[in-house]
A = this chain, B = another copy of it.
Amino acid sequence: MPRTADHEERRRQIAGAVRELISEHGLDAVTVARTAAAAGMSVGLVQHYFRSKDEMLLHAFNEVSAAIRDRAGERIRAGIEHRRPIAWVLAEALTEFVPLDERRRTEFRVTRAFAGRSLDAPALAEVDTETARRVREDIARAVHNGKECGEVAPDLDPWPAAVRLAAVTEGLATQVYRDPAGVNGTPAAELAESLIAAELATVFTGECRQYANGA
């Protein structure tokens, strides 16, 4: 074996530089040269880890999408472990998609930029739709679990409910991003959290049986 370096770590460094560049100056400002500079390496090295610029961008988009979804998933996992009501857990998970702090705002800007470019880049579009599909499935699964627990009415179809919850979350995320100050004096953050909670309340209408049992 020759001179060694952590391949995946380098790719993450580069993807991180891409993320910061997009968030601060937009996707058009991302050039291979600038990315290399931001990552503290040479142009040649970036080429060593990504055969083309498109591949580099795709990787960055994938990584950011995965990061968001992983955080949401982690919140769900932890919530389940602590025997929280599913509605409560889901509320926390969904707010991960809303740009309520710098990190989430950065990620939101990145996904927004890539969504725009997806128009003529099938590979990027697939990341977008695939991520959305997974989120929808996670939500539908949570609603389904709510039935077994007793929080959700047994005859409720999880799929329309999941689409609705995904839609409000995404829509509210956009609104919070555009007008963080909110509307009519109410900060957008408060508005988003209360509206998500209200929307969840129309799906999770019952009490969780596990609570009565004590688990």
A: residues with CB less than 8 A from B are 22-23, 25-29, 109, 112-117, 119-121, 128-129, 132-133, 136, 159-160, 162-164, 166-172, 174-175, 178-179, 183-184, 186, 191, 194-195, 198-199, 202
Contacts and interface: CB of A to CB of B under 8 A. Distances in A.
A163 B136 contact: no
A169 B113 CA distance: 21
Contacts of A27: 116-117, 119
A159 B171 contact: no
Contacts of A184: 159
B167 A195 contact: yes
* Among A117, A133, A136: residue with most chain B CB under 10 A: A117
A172 B167 contact: yes
Contacts of A202: 202
Give this chain's copy count. Answer: 2
A90 to B, nearest CB: 16
B120 A26 contact: yes
Nearest to A162: B183
Contact of A28 (B109, B120, B171, B194): B120
Contact of A195 (B163, B170, B178): B163
A107 to B, nearest CB: 13
A160 B117 CA distance: 32
A182 to B, nearest CB: 9
B163 A191 contact: yes
A113 B109 contact: no
